[in-house]
Amino acid sequence: MAFKQDKFRSIGALLEKLGAVYKNKSAVWFRGQAVAKWKLQPSIMRPPHSSDDEVVLLKKFKQNAVPLIDVVPTGEAEWLFLMQHHSVPTRLLDWTESPLVALYFAVAEAKDAKHRKKDAALWCLYPHVLNEMAGIRMQPAHDIPSFGHEQYLDDYLPSRTAGITTASKQPVALIAPRPFRRLHVQQGVFTLFHRNLTPLEELKDEKTGKQQHIVKFLIPAAAKPKLCQELLLLQIDRLALFPELENVAARIAINHK
């Protein structure tokens, strides 16, 4: 059974459809992608990189990062999230608890002009269902694992996965502290891959063959300008999601055209 798919052209239509997405679910996460055909894979698993590069990148990042940060990470997991925050390829894939944040990244943050002319996607993930597919069942059931609390996550650290060829665990959904202002306002959460290169949208439950962990909304390219305007009306802009000085200036310039 393939994952559910739908489409929308306005925020109002999205809100109407989200009722069904949230139905009987304790958590839903979202990810917006500027091109609908892009796969749900972390950056380390996209060419020209491979998962084996992660330890090398971690070492190089540590080499030069220490003098430039105020609080040095105390463990490998903290280094992993710091790398992800600064766009170093890792096996983490960013998600958000906010559908509007995800929508912004789907329609407004396309860095390449040609991407603005292509259909986008808003993905909805059920983190508990994904974790059950990986054999993880929390107690209480609505809990989500986090480094420092669930020891089995240590098997997903770069030093543990490097060079392994005999085992490949399923991706997991996890939460983490939000020490960076950007991560906090974006309501960031994560999925973390092991060595299984299968994109999230291609995973299937081994027992049922179903894909009940994910839903895809297609956003037609022609609807992107309208959705961008609706987001601006709701003050969902670059300043809201990247609270930095240069974006203060950008908002002022837009509001005084």
Q: Which two tokens stand for residue 17?
A: 């459809």
- Residue numbers in the chain where pLDDT is lower than 50: none
The DSSP 8-state label assigned to residue 257 in this structure reads -
What was the pLDDT predicted at 104? 97
Q: Quote the CA–CA distance of 116 and 114 in Å, as a whole number.
A: 5
Integer angstrom CA distances of residue 227 from 8, 15, 120, 186, 233: 10, 13, 12, 18, 10
Domain assignment of residue 222, given as a range: 4-255
Total domains in the fold of the chain: 1
What was the pLDDT predicted at 165? 64
Integer angstrom CA distances of residue 155 from 34, 101, 139, 195, 227: 32, 30, 20, 11, 41
Closest CA to 146 of 125, 173, 170, 127: 173
Q: CA triplet 174, 175, 178: central angle to 5 degrees?
A: 150
pTM: 0.94
What was the pLDDT predicted at 168? 79
What was the pLDDT predicted at 102? 98
Backbone angles phi, psi at 233, to 5 degrees: -60, -30
Chain position carrying tokens 């220490």 = 66
